[in-house]
Amino acid sequence: MKYYTLKENHLFSKAYRNGQYSGGKYISVYVMPDYHAARLQRANPLKLRINRVGFTVAKKLGVAVVRNRVKRILREAYYKAWKTLDMKTGKIIVIAARSAAVSVKTDDIYKELEAALIQLGVASAKETENE
């Protein structure tokens, strides 16, 4: 388990209202601190401290098949970021798709997500530290 899915609607609206924002051509990213991070860490059997992530795809983008596909690509991009970058934990992250994201590949989404996460101070590249 690499993240908890964010379910509560009030947390989504709180993230939109109070969170730090970074937007690109395909996605928008909102980040705010998770006040329940300590309790969730204790609840986790492995005592890991992980993020809560929400993926948002508006109905405007298309029918259910298209929306599901976009959501999968966003999730794939987050997995890749978790593996390759040095991520901070105990955050609430909301990743929202824009209409341009319907017809692009994973690499393009990932590049934008990486840039946004670094800009917001959530992640830093591992490779640069090693070099």
**Interacting residues toward RNA by CB under 7 A:** 1, 5-7, 9, 12, 39, 42-46, 54-56, 63-65, 68-69, 71-73, 75-76, 79, 105-107
Cβ–Cβ under 8 Å, residues 115 and 81: no
Measured N-to-C along each axis, helices 106-119 and 64-84 cross at an angle, to the nearest 10 degrees, of 50
Minimum separation from the CB atom of position 129 to RNA (A): 22
* CA separation for the pair 98, 116 (Å, rounded): 14
Minimum separation from the CB atom of position 96 to RNA (A): 10
Minimum separation from the CB atom of position 44 to RNA (A): 6
In the numeric block, the tokens 């994201």 are attached to 101
Nearer to RNA, 6 or 116 (CB): 6
Minimum separation from the CB atom of position 15 to RNA (A): 10
- 3-class secondary structure, 89: coil
Nearer to RNA, 76 or 86 (CB): 76
Nearer to RNA, 17 or 42 (CB): 42
* CA separation for the pair 125, 99 (Å, rounded): 28
AA letter at 21: Y
Element (H, E) at 41: helix 37-43
Nearer to RNA, 2 or 121 (CB): 2
